[in-house]
Structure 1
Amino acid sequence: MKKYITLCLLALSTVLVSCTKEDEESMAGPSISPSNLKFTVTQQPGHDNVVMLNSQTEGSYIPFWEFTGGFSKRKMDTINLPFAGDYTIRYTLYTQGGPVADSTNITVSENDREYFASPLWSLLTNEQEGKTWVWASDIPGGICHGNGSGEATAPEWWQNGIGYLTEQGVQADEMTFDLNGAKNYTLSHGGNARKALFELDTANRTLKIIGSDISLGNKVTYVIVKLTANELTLAQQGDGWRNIWMYKRKGFNY
């Protein structure tokens, strides 16, 4: 599936706000024709996530490149597209008479192994196939949510299990992470699936949900206390305390 991104261009917005309808009607056309646009988009052999952009149009024009996940104003630039898929690279020049643009399509064959080199990516998401996590309510002792001291790895003070989760109506909630075209996150609750995105900081071992949250979450950046093939423990880190959420891989039993 082709991915398109529409970026807000500050320069273009300024022109649209300041120009009247009469100004637009009297404005001359672009000072260069689309047929005279010259540019190349080249993928690195053997690592086609790396893409080289090269503006070759004659003149002192400043190019504007648009692609999924970002933009560039450089005449020559190298970008990284970490996800497999079909992409449109749009090339625009802004002239005194207005913008003129062209585009080209490329295909990235697989997710970038270098970008996703940390094992945390695979452990959390099972990569493109995805991984679903549920409450670890059958953990020995049955306590999977609560809080504790600043270094706690499980609830110590306020301790909750399946009874509390059922009272809150979240006992059957599921959350799925995958790397199929983006950093996708889905929260399933009450028969409804809410799709969002996530960011994983492998160096600092933190997880942030963008556009949603975890069940009974506090919309913060969560510390990854534990992440294995079968277990995930997240925490909201405070000053001398932690709120804790404990999950297991769907299908895994203690």
Structure 2
Amino acid sequence: MKNIINSIILFCGLITMFSGCKPDVITLGATLDKSALKFTATPDPANPNNIILTSLTPNVTPYWVTPSGSSIRVVDTVNFPFPGTDTIRYAVESAGGLVYADPVVVTINSIDAKTVSDSMWIKLAGGLGKSKTWRLDVNAIGASKYFNGPTYFAGANFSWEWDAGWANWIIDAGDYGTMTFDLIGKPNFTSNNLMFPALSGTGTFMLYTKANTLSTFGAEILHDKNPNNGTQGANVSNWRTNMVIKSLTNDHMQLVAVRNDGVWLIYNYISLDYYNTH
């Protein structure tokens, strides 16, 4: 009898243990229908290049996606400095997840003179209606005119930096040609890479002054790409999107390219005017 009682106690204990270990069932709330999403995207009467975004959907967190980035503000203003059409996406975070409204297309008819009068635009491209040409700071013997070399090394967010000078394992010596930014009608960009002609091209660019980044479209900034020599540029995949600007003056510019292993490569450029006068 004692053994039977012990067996019953053990059996009941096992039932209690397993019933207490059932996983919680998590269920999401209902997904908000996109017809319930209310918002406006209207030009600022004081500056039609500014589009005022207003979320009118109650009791939700808005999520805006624009060419200049994302935002969760109920009311926000986005500047579109150049003529053309752009798309704005509006979404809200509901109990059932993120719900998107149909995209809105905005049309801009003029250059925003105020935006491109910012000192960064002037230093990079010369100002409204003007152009500016840059060169990679290295020549055929590996010498530089302003920097101590064409490429420096750094950790993410400049946690460390190494000015390595020049060596053929860093970058090929040579005349890399020129790249030109202009604000004539729109933000035009031209790259004439004499060392690697396949990397040359024409397109446009965008300068994000708040984020301190530069993007090019249709062409890449001047850089090396020699897989046979194992130079640094061959180990970078992104040469166009949101490149960090470490420094920018009237005559000198440093752009960051992130190597595939995460190391930051700081590419050093000088203006054509500086090159011709020094």
TM-score by length of 1: 0.52
Supply the AA of the counterpart residue of 2:177: E
Paired positions, count = 184
Alignment of 1:194-205 (within 5 A): 195-196=239-240, 197=243, 199=245
Query: CA shift at 1:54, angstroms?
Result: 0.7
- How far apart, CA to CA, are the structure 2 residues paired with 1:88 and 1:171? 42
Supply the AA of the counterpart residue of 1:186: I
- How far apart, CA to CA, are the structure 2 residues paired with 1:190 and 1:70? 30
Q: What runs of 5+ residues in structure 1 fail to find an aligned partner?
A: 1-19, 148-163, 233-246
What SS does the aligned partner of 1:78 have? strand
Query: CA shift at 1:122, angstroms?
Result: 4.4
Question: Could you tell me whether the CA contact under 8 Å between 1:62 and 1:93 is conserved in 2?
Answer: yes
2:69 is equivalent to residue 41 of structure 1: no
Report the RMSD for the aligned CA atoms in angstroms. 4.5
**Structure-1 residue corresponding to 2:154:** none
Alignment of 1:1-254 (within 5 A): 27-30=28-31, 32-45=32-45, 47-57=47-57, 59-102=58-101, 103-118=103-118, 121-122=121-122, 124-125=124-125, 131-133=133-135, 144=145, 169-178=172-181, 179=187, 180-182=204-206, 183=214, 184=216, 186-187=221-222, 189=224, 195-196=239-240, 197=243, 199=245, 207-211=253-257, 219-220=265-266, 230-232=272-274, 247-248=275-276
TM-score by length of 2: 0.49
- How far apart, CA to CA, are the structure 2 residues paired with 1:92 and 1:134? 42
With a CA cutoff of 8 Å and minimum separation of 6, indicate the structure with the bigger relative contact order.
Answer: 1
**Which string of whole-angstrom CA distances, capped at 9 and with x for unpartnered residues, describes residues 132-175 of structure 1?**
536697xxxx983675xxxxxxxxxxxxxxxx99xx74322134
**Which string of whole-angstrom CA distances, capped at 9 and with x for unpartnered residues, describes residues 211-248 of structure 1?**
279xxxx94486x9x85xx513xxxxxxxxxxxxxx34
Query: CA shift at 1:86, angstroms?
Result: 2.7
My pick for the range that moved more, 66-75 or 76-85, is 76-85
If you compute each CA radius of gyration, which structure gives the higher value, 1 or 2? 2
Question: Could you tell me whether the CA contact under 8 Å between 1:66 and 1:72 is conserved in 2?
Answer: yes
Query: CA shift at 1:84, angstroms?
Result: 4.3
What SS does the aligned partner of 2:221 have? strand
Query: CA shift at 1:75, angstroms?
Result: 1.4
Question: Could you tell me whether the CA contact under 8 Å between 1:50 and 1:80 is conserved in 2?
Answer: yes
Q: What runs of 5+ residues in structure 2 fail to find an aligned partner?
A: 1-22, 149-166, 182-186, 188-203, 207-213, 228-232
**Which string of whole-angstrom CA distances, capped at 9 and with x for unpartnered residues, describes residues 84-140 of structure 1?**
443221111111122211121113334432222146634643579773536697xxx
Moved over 4 A (4+): 126-130, 134-137, 188-194, 200-206
Higher helix share: 2
